[in-house]
C-alpha cells in the first residue's frame, strides 16, 4: 500500500500444528527499506514465519499485515507486493532459464516491452547471461538458486521473503548473492533466513532471532551483542547494603553479587545504560565506598546468538516492535 511505512507487522502471531506450537506470540514490525536477517536454530519457526508472511500458511491466531494489508482479509493484495523464495526453491526443470523467467513475469502481469526490459536487467544482474538458454535441469545448485531469486525480483516487489538464499552456495556464489541482495535492498524491504553469522553486521540493519517459536531478540547485531556486555567491580561494603543501593539504579539485568574478604563485595552487572560505569562510581562516591577493579567484558554477536538460542526462550519486551 503506497505510503505505508511499516511493511511487515505481526501482533501476537501463533501457529500450531498437530503436535507442536511452531510460533508463540510473535510480534514485530519491519519498516520500508530495511534488510533484516531471520535467525534461529533448526525448528525455531523461521520457515513457518516466512510462509505465513508469504500467504502460504495462515496464522492460528494474531494479526499479520503485509504491505499495509491484513492477511486475513486482503491476502491477494498483500501477495502482489511480495517476492517469495522458499527453501525448496521449486522450479520447472523442463524449461529453459529465459522461458521460466518469462513465465514468472507474466504471472505477475508483466507484458511486452516492460517484460523484456525486466528480463534483460534481471538476467544481467543475476549473472545468468551465460546460462539463460540452458534447461534448468542442467544447472548447478548455485545457478538454480540464482534463477529462483531472479524470479522473485522480476516484478520489483516492495517486499522480499527469502528462505535460506545462501544454502548450498560456494563462497564465490555467496559473495555474488550478497551483492545482489544489497542492490535489491535499495528498493525493497528484505527479510531473509540464514544460518550464516559471518558478515551479518554489514549485510543487514537488524537481526530477528527466534528460539523454540518465540522472538528472543530483534535489534541491530551490535545492540544484541552489546546487551551481553558485563561490567565488573569491587566495592567495600556488605552484600545486602550494595543490593539495596542497586535497586535505585534503573535498567540493570542479571546482577550478581559475591562477598569477598575484608568487607569487599564483587559485583557483575549485565545491561544498564551506557552511563553505567559513571553511575557505579557515583553510587560508591556518594556513600563513601571504596571502589576498585572496574572492568568490562564483551561478547561477539555470534556469542550472543548462542546464548539466546541455547538458553530457555524468554519473551522480550513488546516495545522492541517499534525500534528502528
- Which residue range forms the structural domain that includes residue 122? 6-219
Residue 1 lies in a domain: no
With beta carbons less than 8 A apart as the criterion, state whether 264 and 284 touch.
no
Instruction: Name the pTM for this structure.
Output: 0.86
Which CATH number characterizes residue 260's domain? Answer: 3.30.70.3100
Residue 239 lies in a domain: yes
Which CATH number characterizes residue 159's domain? Answer: 3.40.50.300
Grid cell locating 161: 521473503
- Could you give phi then psi for residue 105, rounded to 5 degrees? -65, -40
With beta carbons less than 8 A apart as the criterion, state whether 77 and 28 touch.
no
Are 88 and 106 found together in one domain? yes
Q: Is 241 left (phi over 0), alpha (psi -120 to 50) or beta?
A: alpha
pLDDT at 275: 81
Are 252 and 215 found together in one domain? no
**If you average pLDDT over residues 66-88, what whole number do you get?**
94
Percent of the chain scoring above 70 in pLDDT: 93
Please tell me the total number of residues recorded for the chain in this structure.
324
Q: pLDDT tens-digit profile of 251-287? A: 777 899 999 999 999 999 986 566 888 889 999 999 9
- DSSP 3-state of 264: coil
Residue 312 lies in a domain: no
- DSSP 3-state of 12: strand
Taking 90 as the threshold, does the pLDDT of residue 303 lie above it? yes
Are 248 and 104 found together in one domain? no
Residue 93 lies in a domain: yes
pLDDT at 198: 81
pLDDT at 271: 67
Q: How far apart are CA 141 and CA 133, in angstroms?
A: 17
DSSP-assigned letter for residue 129: G
Q: How far apart are CA 31 and CA 73, in angstroms?
A: 21
Angle between helices 141-153 and 112-125 (to 10 degrees): 140
Q: Tell me how many domains the chain contains.
A: 2
Amino acid at each position: 500500500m503506497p505510503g505505508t511505512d511499516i511493511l511487515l507487522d505481526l501482533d501476537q502471531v501463533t501457529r500450531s500444528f498437530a503436535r507442536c506450537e511452531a510460533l508463540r506470540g510473535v510480534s514485530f514490525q519491519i519498516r520500508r527499506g530495511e534488510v533484516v536477517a531471520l535467525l534461529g536454530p533448526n525448528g525455531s519457526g523461521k520457515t513457518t514465519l516466512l510462509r505465513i508472511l508469504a500467504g502460504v500458511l495462515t496464522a492460528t491466531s494474531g494479526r499479520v499485515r503485509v504491505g499495509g494489508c491484513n492477511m486475513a482479509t486482503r491476502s491477494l493484495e498483500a501477495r502482489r507486493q511480495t517476492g517469495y523464495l522458499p527453501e525448496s526453491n521449486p522450479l520447472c526443470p523442463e524449461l529453459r532459464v529465459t522461458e521460466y523467467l518469462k513465465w514468472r513475469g507474466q504471472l505477475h502481469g508483466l507484458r511486452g516491452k516492460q517484460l523484456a526490459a525486466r528480463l534483460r536487467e534481471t538476467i544481467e544482474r543475476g549473472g545468468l547471461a551465460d546460462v539463460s538458454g540452458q534447461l534448468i535441469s542442467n544447472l548447478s545448485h548455485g545457478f538454480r538458486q540464482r534463477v529462483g531469486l531472479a524470479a522473485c525480483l522480476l516484478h520489483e516487489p516492495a517486499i522480499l521473503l527469502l528462505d535460506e538464499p545462501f544454502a548450498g552456495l560456494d563462497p564465490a556464489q555467496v559473495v555474488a548473492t550478497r551483492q545482489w541482495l544489497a542492490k535489491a535492498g535499495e528498493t525493497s524491504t528484505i527479510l531473509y533466513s540464514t544460518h550464516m553469522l559471518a558478515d551479518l553486521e554489514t549485510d543487514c540493519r537488524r537481526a530477528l532471532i527466534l528460539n523454540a517459536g518465540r522472538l528472543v531478540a530483534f535489534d541491530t547485531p551490535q545492540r544484541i551483542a552489546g546487551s551481553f556486555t558485563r561490567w565488573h567491580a569491587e566495592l567495600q561494603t556488605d552484600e545486602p547494603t550494595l543490593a539495596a543501593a542497586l535497586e535505585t539504579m534503573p535498567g540493570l539485568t542479571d546482577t550478581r553479587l559475591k562477598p569477598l574478604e575484608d568487607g569487599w563485595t564483587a559485583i557483575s552487572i549485565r545491561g544498564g545504560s551506557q552511563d553505567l560505569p559513571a553511575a557505579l562510581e557515583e553510587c560508591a562516591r556518594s556513600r563513601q565506598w571504596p571502589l576498585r577493579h572496574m572492568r568490562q567484558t564483551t561478547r561477539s554477536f555470534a556469542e550472543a546468538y548462542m546464548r539466546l538460542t541455547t538458553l530457555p526462550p524468554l519473551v522480550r519486551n513488546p516495545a522492541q516492535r517499534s525500534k528502528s
